[in-house]
């Protein structure tokens, strides 16, 4: 998100952008003036002689040409090449081209009489011309104009570079000024917390900061102090910058917004200077909020690479930022908000209490939050009754808020391309497929044998996902090429908070279903399973190395959560490395044999499914259920939806009872007890908040690669 543009809004005192003089124009003007001086300047030598001496020289036919200026009573005479020694003294080889002599004459008439007499008596052949003569002002401009122009241009450029001259502050001398944009309560259009769907916990954290600024007495009377800083951490597209925009819209205090890269410049010392200038402006506007987006651009941990110079410009900027945030000079009233998706690489001194007192985690939205986000983005879109936000939320597991906004926009474009008056459910489904799998390529030519191989491969995935309890529920299977894949199977990943070993093994087995079906029913394997093999290899290694789920290497984890990695050495011996490889091979081989065993048991159903896929090119869970029967297990998503529906029904029944008997109210102790019970219920539904590091919810397709 563009942090400096705040959703198309302009800061209050943002002046109209002034004309900025380019430094290259100065070079061009200098070269033009030097060229003009070179071509207009006469570099020939000249001398001034008296009228009597001139008469003697003129009678001797020394001059080749004479020009008389009537208004100035001046004569300019060009000396012939062979007579230079008679006019000029010294070395005549350095006189240049066309040396001239200047004479002050009594008048043009007197000269005319002299010239006529000299022609008659001495037979001279000197050519004579008469001119009015130059004006004194013009002569002054010719002589001193280039110098005056150069001085004027220099003064103008110096004023521009120093930020003066009525222009926007910028240039060489203002390079150390902060680039932060200022937003306040008078900004025209604002983003508020109502525009931020989901993120209930994160909103509560930042709302408390805004509440403190609006009513500080509520907290200070109990001895509380406002947090000095809050760091928004989360994956890209989850709404970190949007939360900051909401803070800017809700807070009635000045809001400075800039990016971490704004501190980076090619000049030494500029970053630290901009940090000082930013906090100087913030202190003048206190109480205020300073938002730094992508702070990892300047807050990367120091001394991470010992081979490089540790005292570089970025570290100087970070040192100045640390000092300003919590140094000897306190910054009371200045609250720092920052956002990053790389909190693991930030310097520890930056993350400590006193600088960033809070770390607000903005995670990917769950099912209920995705529904709220869809409701926000569906407001400006014309939809019909076929569009169900709850259904769309189920079809987009692992999608961030930015991804959901992209889905809505892509669906509107697809509907407009089809000349529809409303955006329908099919448009949203096509938009999801377009974003996840790529553009559909029905023009790609495949032979009948290739289509049969792809159908058997994808039917193998679908068959195993139907008969494995913990496999992801099937959404649809297609053999239409899309993106780089010749075919794909869409699943609805279970958004688990924790993942067991059995669940991981079922996922491995279902992913190997395509390769197993090729070997069983075609008799030869192809390169189409390369994407599946890459996925299961990484997952099997994670089970052994990260999750400690190996029989020979139980309860061991070789993952460095500090983000510093292990460098060039591994944290285990060569023997352990060979054992890890053998355990990964054993896990994959066992699940491959298991996949082939299940396919043999349901061989007839697999063949029917592959044939339906060849006939229709796309199949849905209803087609699989028609062949294999109803799936005996309920997915976690359906379980969550049923729980939410039951909660809503209980709340509605409670509201009805209160409406019927408004005079009956529970005592205070009973109310407190009921709140504790409801909190206990919520905790029981979600006992652990540990996210499975190996789970990739958005990768919900098994593709047949085109290789």
Domain boundaries, the chain: 18-167, 181-361, 367-436, 448-633+692-705
Show the beta-strand stretches assigned E in 459-595.
Answer: 474-478, 485-491
d(CA 458, CA 479): 8
d(CA 403, CA 693): 21
118 exposure class (CB count in 10 Å sphere: 0-12, 13-18, 19+):
middle
pLDDT in tens, 513-549: 999 999 999 999 988 888 899 999 999 999 999 999 9
CATH 3.40.640.10 corresponds to the domain 18-167: no
Question: pLDDT-derived band of residue 27, with 50, 70 and 90 as boundaries?
Answer: low
CATH of the domain spanning 181-361: 3.40.50.300
**Which of the following is catalytic: 315, 324, 458, 503?**
458
d(CA 536, CA 487): 18
pLDDT in tens, 207-251: 888 888 778 788 888 887 777 888 999 888 888 888 888 887 787
Alpha helices in 291-337 (DSSP H): 313-326
Asked whether 494 and 366 are in contact (CB, 8 A), the reply is: no
Q: What are residue 255's DSSP bridge partners?
A: 183, 289
Phi, psi angle pair for 233, to nearest 5° = -125, 135
Active site residue 458: yes
Task: Looking at the structure, give the CATH architecture of the domain made up of residues 367-436.
Answer: Orthogonal Bundle (1.10)
Asked whether 502 and 468 are in contact (CB, 8 A), the reply is: no
- Shared fold status for 367-436 and 448-633+692-705: no
d(CA 705, CA 529): 6
What are the distances in angstroms from CA 118 to CA 55, 58, 366, 424?
9, 8, 112, 108
Report the candidate in 263, 231, 269, 249 with the shortest Cα–Cα distance to residue 347.
Answer: 231
Edge-to-edge strand ranges of the sheet holding 46-49: 46-49, 100-104, 74-79, 63-69, 127-131
Q: Round the average pLDDT of the chain to a whole number and report it.
A: 77
Q: What is the pLDDT, as a whole number, of residue 183? A: 66
CATH topology of domain 448-633+692-705: Methane Monooxygenase Hydroxylase; Chain G, domain 1 (1.20.58)
Q: What is the pLDDT, as a whole number, of residue 30? A: 73
Q: What is the pLDDT, as a whole number, of residue 162? A: 55
* CA triple 44-47-48, angle to 5 deg: 145
Q: Is the pTM of this model over 0.85?
A: no
d(CA 240, CA 248): 13
Radius of gyration of the chain (CA): 42
């Amino acid at each position: 998100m563009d942090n400096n543009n705040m959703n198309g809004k302009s800061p209050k005192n943002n002046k109209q952008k002034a004309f900025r003089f380019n430094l290259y124009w100065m070079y061009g003007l200098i070269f033009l003036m030097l060229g003009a001086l070179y071509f207009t300047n006469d570099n020939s030598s000249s001398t001034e002689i008296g009228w009597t001496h001139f008469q003697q020289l003129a009678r001797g036919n020394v001059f080749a040409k004479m020009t008389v200026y009537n208004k100035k009573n001046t004569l300019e005479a060009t000396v012939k090449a062979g007579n230079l020694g008679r006019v000029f003294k010294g070395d005549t080889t350095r006189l240049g081209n066309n040396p001239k002599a200047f004479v002050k004459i009594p008048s043009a008439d007197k000269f005319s009489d002299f010239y006529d007499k000299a022609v008659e008596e001495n037979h001279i052949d000197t050519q004579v011309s008469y001119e009015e003569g130059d004006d004194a002002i013009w002569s002054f401009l010719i002589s001193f104009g280039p110098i005056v122009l150069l001085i004027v241009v220099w003064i103008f450029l110096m004023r521009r570079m120093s930020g003066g001259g009525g222009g926007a502050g910028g240039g060489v001398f203002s390079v150390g000024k902060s680039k932060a944009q200022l937003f306040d309560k008078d900004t025209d259009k604002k983003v508020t917390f109502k525009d931020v769907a989901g993120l209930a916990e994160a909103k509560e954290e930042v709302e408390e900061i805004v509440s403190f600024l609006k009513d500080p007495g509520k907290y200070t009377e109990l001895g509380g102090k406002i947090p000095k800083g809050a760091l928004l951490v989360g994956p890209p597209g989850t709404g970190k910058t949007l939360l900051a925009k909401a803070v800017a819209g809700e807070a009635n205090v000045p809001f400075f917004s800039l990016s971490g890269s704004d501190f980076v410049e090619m000049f030494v010392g500029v970053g630290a200077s901009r940090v000082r200038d930013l906090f100087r402006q913030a202190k003048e506007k206190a109480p205020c909020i300073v938002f730094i987006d992508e702070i990892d651009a300047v807050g990367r941990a120091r001394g991470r690479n010992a081979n490089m110079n540790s005292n570089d410009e970025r570290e100087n900027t970070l040192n100045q930022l640390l000092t300003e945030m919590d140094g000897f000079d306190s910054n009371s009233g200045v609250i720092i908000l920052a956002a990053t998706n790389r909190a693991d690489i930030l310097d520890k001194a930056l993350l400590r209490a006193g600088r960033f007192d809070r770390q607000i985690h903005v995670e990917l939205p769950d099912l209920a939050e995705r529904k709220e986000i869809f409701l926000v983005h569906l407001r400006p879109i014309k939809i019909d009754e076929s569009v169900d936000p709850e259904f769309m939320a189920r079809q987009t597991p692992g999608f961030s808020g930015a991804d959901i906004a992209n889905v809505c926009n892509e669906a509107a474009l697809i509907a407009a391309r089809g000349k529809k008056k409303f955006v329908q459910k099919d448009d949203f489904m096509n938009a999801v497929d377009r974003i996840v799998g790529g553009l559909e390529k029905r023009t790609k030519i495949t032979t009948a044998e290739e289509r049969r191989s792809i159908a058997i491969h994808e039917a193998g995935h679908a068959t195993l996902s139907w008969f494995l309890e913990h496999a992801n529920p099937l959404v649809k299977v297609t053999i239409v090429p899309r993106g780089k894949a010749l075919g794909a199977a869409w699943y609805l990943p279970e958004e688990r908070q924790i993942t067991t070993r059995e669940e991981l093994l079922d996922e491995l087995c279902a992913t190997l279903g395509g390769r197993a079906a090729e070997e069983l029913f075609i008799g030869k394997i192809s390169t189409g399973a390369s994407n599946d093999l890459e996925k299961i290899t990484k997952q099997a290694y994670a089970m052994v190395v990260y999750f400690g789920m190996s029989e020979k290497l139980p309860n061991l984890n070789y993952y460095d959560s500090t983000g510093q990695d292990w460098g060039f050495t591994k944290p285990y011996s060569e023997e352990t490395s060979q054992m890890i490889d053998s355990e990964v091979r054993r896990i994959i081989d066992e699940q491959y044999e298991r996949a082939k065993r299940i396919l043999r048991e349901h061989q007839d159903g697999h063949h029917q499914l592959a044939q339906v896929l060849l006939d229709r090119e796309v199949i849905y869970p209803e087609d699989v259920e028609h062949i294999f029967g109803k799936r005996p297990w309920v997915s976690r998503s359906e379980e969550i939806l049923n729980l939410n529906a039951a909660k809503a029904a209980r709340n509605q029944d409670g509201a009805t009872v209160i409406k019927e008997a408004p005079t009956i109210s529970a005592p205070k102790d009973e109310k407190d007890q009921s709140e504790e019970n409801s909190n206990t219920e919520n905790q029981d539904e979600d006992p652990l908040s540990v996210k499975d590091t190996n789970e990739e919810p958005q990768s919900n397709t098994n593709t047949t690669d085109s290789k």
